[in-house]
Amino acid sequence: MSKLIQVNGFAIFSPVHLSPGLWRHPDDRSLDFSTLDYWTDVAKILEAGKFDSIFIADGIGIHDVYAGTADAALNTGAQIPKLDPMLLVSAMAHVTEHLGLGVTAPVSYEPPFTLARRFSTLDHLSKGRIAWNIVTGYSNTASRAVGRDSIMAHDPRYDLADEFLDAVYALWEGSWDDEAVVVDPIRGVIADPSRIRKVHHHGAHFKIDAIHLVHPSLQRTPFLFQAGASNRGKDFAARHAEAVFLGEHSKAPTAANVAETRARARAFGRDGRDIRFYALLTVIVGETHAEAEAKYRDYQRYIDPKGSLALLSGWTGIDLSRYSLDDPFPTVKKDNAVTSMIDSFSRSERPWTIREIIEHNGIGGRGPVIVGSPTEVADQLQAWVAETDIDGFNLSYAVTPGGYQDFAELVVPELQRRGVYKTGYAKGTLREKIFGPGQARLPSSHPAARFRHHAAVEPQREPTSA
Amino acid sequence: MSKLIQVNGFAIFSPVHLSPGLWRHPDDRSLDFSTLDYWTDVAKILEAGKFDSIFIADGIGIHDVYAGTADAALNTGAQIPKLDPMLLVSAMAHVTEHLGLGVTAPVSYEPPFTLARRFSTLDHLSKGRIAWNIVTGYSNTASRAVGRDSIMAHDPRYDLADEFLDAVYALWEGSWDDEAVVVDPIRGVIADPSRIRKVHHHGAHFKIDAIHLVHPSLQRTPFLFQAGASNRGKDFAARHAEAVFLGEHSKAPTAANVAETRARARAFGRDGRDIRFYALLTVIVGETHAEAEAKYRDYQRYIDPKGSLALLSGWTGIDLSRYSLDDPFPTVKKDNAVTSMIDSFSRSERPWTIREIIEHNGIGGRGPVIVGSPTEVADQLQAWVAETDIDGFNLSYAVTPGGYQDFAELVVPELQRRGVYKTGYAKGTLREKIFGPGQARLPSSHPAARFRHHAAVEPQREPTSA
C-alpha cells in the first residue's frame, strides 16, 4: 500500500493568517474569526474532509518591525488582533469526533504546572485528540508584554524549553499510575493515593513539588507538534516532536530538513519514523486547470501589499519600509526560521524584488502555492511526498473556509481514488490515528517515557525530573 | 414589582464539590465530570431554568491538611482531580444563548497580559457572557506547585491582586478605543492604529509595555465575581466586584456581610447596589414536603465522612484526624473565610461535635440546605432575600445535574407565579442582563473606568496604570 498522505488545516485565531487582504474577498469568512460558529464550521469541514487535525498558530508578539511600529499590522489586521486558541478547543471537540485539535502554547509565560493541567484537561474533554505545538516565543514585543525587557537568547531559550518539557512530562507521565483511578462505589473510593506521587522538579528555571491535578487522560502527554527551523530548534524537534511543521518554499530544502531531523532523532535513540513531517502548502483547486487559474488570479487581486510587508518584516527582522518595492529583497541573517524562502529566491537566476516576493507570497505566506485541477494537484502532492520524504501537508488557504472545503471536496476524492488518502478515520486517540493501534501513549524511546513510574523497580520513588 | 431572585449554578470541574460521597447515588452524574457532554447538559439545564449564570469554582491547591497528607482527599475525590474550568467555556457557550459563564482564575500564576487575553477571547466567543471569579490563591500546596516555597502573606496578596486588576483594566478598557476597529474593505483597513495605545504598567509586581492583543469585546472587562470573606477580602470585593458570593450558614451573618460590603463600596465611591450578593445554598425539593424529606434522607445515606473531613480540614486549617468524631468541633482562628459556619454552630446551645457537623454539612458544604415542597422552598428563599438584602443564590446540589433540574422544574415555576423570578432572559451581555439595558460596560464609578481613554482630554496620552 502506498503511504497515506496526511493533512492538517493550518489556521490562526486572527482575521489574517498568511494571505493579507483576502478578508475582502466575497467568499471569505475571516472576519467571523472571533465567533464560535466560524470555528465549529471549520472543524466540521475539516472532519468531513478527513483531515488529520487542525493546527492553530499562535504567539503573543505582534509584527512591529515594519517602520518600527505595529501600525501596518494593525491597519491590515496582519495577525492582530490575535486571540487565545486554546479556548477554542472544547467547542470544536464538541462538534467533531475524530479531528485532531492542535493548539500552540509557549513554554515562556506560565508555570509548567498550570500548562500541564490545561493540556490534560483538553485531552480529557477531546477524548485524546489534543496536540500541543510547542513554541519558545520569539519576539521582544512578546517579552515586553509580560514584564521582561527583552527576549532570552536563542539557545538558552531552548535549554529552558527542554527543562519545561521535563517538568510537564513528569506531571503527565509520572504522577498518576493508570491504576490510580479506582472508582469503587462499595468502598467509596475514587483514587488510590499509593498510586499517585508528587513530582519533585528542582531545575534551573522551574520548581515543582506537587501531584498533577488531573488523572491520566487517554494520551497523557498531548501529541507533540514542533516547528523549529534553527539548528537548536531542529535538535529540540528531534528530541521531542512527533510531528514537525516545515515552512520551506521548495522541495530540496524540505527534503534536506526531513533527512537531517530524522537523523538527529536517531541520534537521540528515537526511530526517525516516529516523527511525521508536514510541509506548509496552499492549494488553489478548480474542476479544471483553467478554473483554478482563474480562481488564483481572482484571489491575487485582493492581496494586500502593506499587510504582506508587515508580515515579511516581522518574519525576517528587516524593516522593509526602508526599501523601495523594486529593490532586491535584502539579505537575511542565517539560522532564522524564515531565511530559506528568501534563500530559494536568491538562488534563482537573479534576486527577486520585494514586489515580486509580495506577489508570490501574498497568498499562503512563505509556503508554495499549487494551482490546478484535482488531478494536477494530486500529482504535485504525490511528487512532494516522493521527493522529500514528508508525510503530508499543513494546508493554508487564500480564502477561508473555502480553501479547506475545496481541498476536501475536490482533492481528497482524487487522492482517495489513488489509494493515498484514508477513506475513514482510525479508532482511538490522535496518536493512535497517526501511529497506529496501541499507540495512545508515547513510545518508550521518547524522552517523556523515563518519567514513568516503574513500581516493580523502585516502589516508593517519587519522580524527579531534575 | 418585587425584586427578582437571581440564581447561579455553583459547580466545580471535579468529581466532588460540596457533597462528598454523593457520586455513588444512582441519580448522580458526577463521574462524568471530565466529559463535554456532562457540561453542555448542565449548561442547557441551567438555561432552561433561566439561571443567570454558572459559577465554576477553582484553585490549584489540594486539601492536604487532614492527617497532613492529601490521601483522604484523593481517596474520596474531594475536589481532586480538578481540571481547568476556563477550558469548558467555549463548549458551554456554543450550546446556550443567554447563560452567564463564570469561571474562577487566580491573579497569582500568570502575567496580567495573558490572563487579560484569555478573558477577552472568552468574552468574544460567548458574545459578552463571561464572568471572572477573581481569586488570590490560598494554599501552600498551590504555591509549591508553581515553584514558590510558601504562600504570600494575606494582605500583601491582596495588594498584588489590586495591582493585577489595575493592569488588566488598563488592557481591557484603555488599549483599544471602540472606534479602533474600522473594517473598511475599500481602503483595506481593519483597524486604526491612532485609536490603539500601548499600556504602560510599571508596578511593584507587574510590568507591561504592550497593546492588548484583542479588540474590544462586548463587555470589555468581564463581569467580576468575588468571594473574599476576610476584612481585606471584603475591601477588595467592595472596590472591584459586581457580584459577591457568600458562604455563610445562616441569615444574620449574611445580612451583616451584605450591609458591610455595600457600605464599604459606597466608601469607595460606588453605589452599594452596583454589587449583587448571592448566598450559597442547597435545595432539596419534592412535589410534597414528605417527598422532599424522603429525598434528603436518601441522599444523606451517601454522605462520605472521610471526604467531609478532608474538606473541613482543608477549609479550616485544622487537622481533624487528631480528634474523635464525638469531640466538639475545635475553635478556628478568626478572619478566615470559613469560620462563620463554625461560629454559628458554636453559638447554638452547645458546641456541635465533628460528627454532627459532618451530618449537617456533608451535603452542600458550609451553606444551608433547604428541604421542602416548591411552596415551602419559595417561602424560605423569599425570607432569605427579605431578611438579608441578598439578590439571589449560588445553588449547590446533592446530586448533579438533578439538583439543578429539580430547582428549574419545581422551584422556578413557583417563584415565577409569585412574580419574583424572570420569565425570560433580558437581551444583551451578562452585565446588561444583571444591571439593565445600556450597562454592557462597567459604570464610571468602577475603578476600571479610570483607565479609559478620553480623547478630548488628553489626545496622545498612553494609559498608565502604575
CATH number at residue A244: 3.20.20.30
Task: Establish if B347 belongs to a structural domain.
Answer: no
pLDDT value at residue B450: 96
Q: Which domain holds residue B107?
A: 6-173+214-304+368-457
Do the annotations mark residue B30 as ligand-binding? no
Q: Any idea what the Cα angle at residue A148 is, between residues A146 and A152, rounded to 5°?
A: 115
Measured distance CA(A381)–CA(A378) in Å, rounded: 5
Q: Is the pLDDT reported for residue A359 higher than 70?
A: yes
Give the nearest partner residue to A211 out of B70, B76, B88, using CB atoms.
Answer: B70
The DSSP 8-state label assigned to residue B426 in this structure reads P
Reported as a single tens digit per residue, the pLDDT across B238-263 is 999 999 999 988 999 999 999 999 99
Q: Any idea what the Cα angle at residue B415 is, between residues B411 and B417, rounded to 5°?
A: 120
Reported as a single tens digit per residue, the pLDDT across A154-208 is 788 888 999 999 999 999 999 999 999 999 999 999 999 999 999 999 999 999 9
- Number of structural domains chain B divides into: 1
Task: Establish if A111 belongs to a structural domain.
Answer: yes
Measured distance CA(B183)–CA(B120) in Å, rounded: 19
Q: Is the pLDDT reported for residue B114 higher than 80?
A: yes
Q: Which residues contact B396 (CB under 8 A, 6 or more apart)?
A: B10, B17, B18, B19, B280, B281, B282, B364, B365, B367, B403
Cβ proximity of A80 and B192 under 8 Å = no
Label residues B265-298 b or e (16+ Cβ within 10 Å = b): beeeebebebbbbbbbbbbbbbeeeeebeebbee
Measured distance CA(A187)–CA(A192) in Å, rounded: 11
Q: Which residues contact B104 (CB under 8 A, 6 or more apart)?
A: B56, B57, B58, B59, B85, B132, B133, B135, B225
What pairing do the DSSP bridges indicate for beta strands A130-135 and A181-184? Answer: unpaired
Confidence of residue B345 (pLDDT cuts 50, 70, 90): low
Task: Establish if B333 belongs to a structural domain.
Answer: no
At what angle are helices B251-267 and B339-346 packed, to 10 degrees? 140
pLDDT value at residue A142: 84
Measured distance CA(B250)–CA(B228) in Å, rounded: 17
What pairing do the DSSP bridges indicate for beta strands A207-210 and A199-202? Answer: antiparallel
Average pLDDT, chain B: 92
Specify which residues A9 forms β-bridges with. A54, A395
Task: Quote the cell numbers at residue B172.
Answer: 481591557
Measured distance CA(B124)–CA(B119) in Å, rounded: 9
What pairing do the DSSP bridges indicate for beta strands A53-57 and B189-191? Answer: unpaired
Task: Establish if B164 belongs to a structural domain.
Answer: yes
At what angle are helices B305-316 and B354-361 packed, to 10 degrees? 100
pLDDT value at residue A55: 97
Cβ proximity of A259 and A249 under 8 Å = no
Task: Quote the cell numbers at residue B148.
Answer: 514558590
pLDDT value at residue B458: 42
Cβ proximity of A122 and A101 under 8 Å = yes
Chain A environment of B190 (Cβ under 8 Å): 15-16, 23, 74-77
pLDDT value at residue B459: 37
Average pLDDT, chain A: 92
Q: Is the pLDDT reported for residue A82 higher than 50?
A: yes
Cβ proximity of B5 and B381 under 8 Å = yes
**Higher pLDDT among residues A233 and A323, named by residue:** A323
pLDDT value at residue A453: 84
Do the annotations mark residue A230 as ligand-binding? yes
Inter-chain touch B213–A185, beta carbons under 8 Å: no
**Start-to-end C-alpha separation, chain B:** 44
Cβ proximity of B86 and B69 under 8 Å = no
Task: Quote the cell numbers at residue B445.
Answer: 464609578
Inter-chain touch B190–A16, beta carbons under 8 Å: yes
Give the nearest partner residue to A88 out of B13, B34, B90, using CB atoms.
Answer: B90
Q: Which residue has the cell 444583551?
A: B428
Confidence of residue B338 (pLDDT cuts 50, 70, 90): low
Three-class DSSP labels, chain A: CCCCCEEEEEEECCCCCCCCCHHHCCCCCHHHCCCHHHHHHHHHHHHHCCCCEEEEECCCCCCCCHHHCCHHHHHHCCCCCCCCHHHHHHHHHHHCCCCEEEEEEECCCCCHHHHHHHHHHHHHHCCCCEEEEEECCCCHHHHHHCCCCCCCCHHHHHHHHHHHHHHHHHHHHHCECHHHEEEECCCCEEECHHHECCEEEECCCCEEEECCCCCCCCCCCCEEEECCCCHHHHHHHHHHCCEEEECCCCHHHHHHHHHHHHHHHHHCCCCHHHCEEEEEEEEEECCCHHHHHHHHHHHHCCCCHHHHHHHHHHHHCCCHHHCCCCCECCCCCCCCCCHHHHHHHHCCCCCCEHHHHHHHHCCCCCCCEEEECHHHHHHHHHHHHHHHCCCEEEEECCCCCHHHHHHHHHHHHHHHHCCCCCCCCCCCCHHHHHHCCCCCCCCCCCHHHHHCCCCCCCCCCCCECC
Q: Any idea what the Cα angle at residue A287 is, between residues A282 and A292, rounded to 5°?
A: 45
**Higher pLDDT among residues B356 and B464, named by residue:** B356
Q: Closest Cα partner for B284 from B395, B196, B382?
A: B395
Confidence of residue B157 (pLDDT cuts 50, 70, 90): confident
**Start-to-end C-alpha separation, chain A:** 44
Measured distance CA(B337)–CA(B233) in Å, rounded: 9
Q: What is the mean pLDDT of residues B98-110?
A: 94
> Sign of torsion, CA A454 A460 A462 A464?
negative
pLDDT value at residue A148: 73
Task: Establish if A191 belongs to a structural domain.
Answer: no
Cβ proximity of B434 and B102 under 8 Å = no
Q: What is the mean pLDDT of residues A391-408?
A: 98
Measured distance CA(A111)–CA(B137) in Å, rounded: 15
Task: Establish if A325 belongs to a structural domain.
Answer: no
Task: Quote the cell numbers at residue A392.
Answer: 503530508
Do the annotations mark residue A104 as ligand-binding? yes
Reported as a single tens digit per residue, the pLDDT across B408-455 is 999 999 999 999 999 999 999 999 999 999 999 999 999 999 999 864
Q: What is the mean pLDDT of residues B126-139?
A: 90
Cβ proximity of B353 and B312 under 8 Å = no
Q: Is the pLDDT reported for residue A138 higher than 80?
A: no
Q: How many CB atoms lie within 10 A of CB B59?
A: 19
Inter-chain touch A89–B90, beta carbons under 8 Å: yes
Considering only CA atoms, give the Rg of chain A. 22
Chain B environment of A189 (Cβ under 8 Å): 75-76
Inter-chain touch B124–A24, beta carbons under 8 Å: no
What secondary structure does DSSP assign to B17-41, as a single string? SSSTTGGGSTT--GGGTTSHHHHHH
Give the nearest partner residue to A146 out of B23, B83, B114, using CB atoms.
Answer: B114
Label residues A82-102 b or e (16+ Cβ within 10 Å = b): bbbbbbbbbbbbbbbebbbbb
Chain A environment of B111 (Cβ under 8 Å): 109-110, 145-147
Specify which residues A135 forms β-bridges with. A106
Nearest-by-CA chain B residue for A31: B183
3-state secondary structure of B124: helix
Do the annotations mark residue A404 as ligand-binding? no
3-state secondary structure of B93: helix
Q: Closest Cα partner for A99 from A20, A35, A45?
A: A45
Q: What are phi and psi of A371, to 5 degrees?
A: -120, 125
pLDDT value at residue A343: 61
Task: Establish if A250 belongs to a structural domain.
Answer: yes
Measured distance CA(B430)–CA(B427) in Å, rounded: 9
Tally of residues, chain B: 466
Confidence of residue A338 (pLDDT cuts 50, 70, 90): low
Most B-contacting residue of A74, A123, A178 (CB-CB within 10 A), to test interface:
A74
Measured distance CA(A126)–CA(A104) in Å, rounded: 16
Inter-chain touch A188–B146, beta carbons under 8 Å: no
Do the annotations mark residue A58 as ligand-binding? yes
For chain A, percent of residues with pLDDT exceeding 90: 82
Task: Establish if B352 belongs to a structural domain.
Answer: no
Considering only CA atoms, give the Rg of chain B. 22
Specify which residues A209 forms β-bridges with. A200
Task: Quote the cell numbers at residue B388.
Answer: 438579608
Inter-chain touch B83–A124, beta carbons under 8 Å: yes
Chain B environment of A13 (Cβ under 8 Å): 121
Confidence of residue A99 (pLDDT cuts 50, 70, 90): very high
Q: Is the pLDDT reported for residue A145 higher than 50?
A: yes
Give the nearest partner residue to B145 out of A124, A210, A306, using CB atoms.
Answer: A210
Measured distance CA(B421)–CA(A6) in Å, rounded: 54
> Sign of torsion, CA B442 B446 B449 B451?
negative
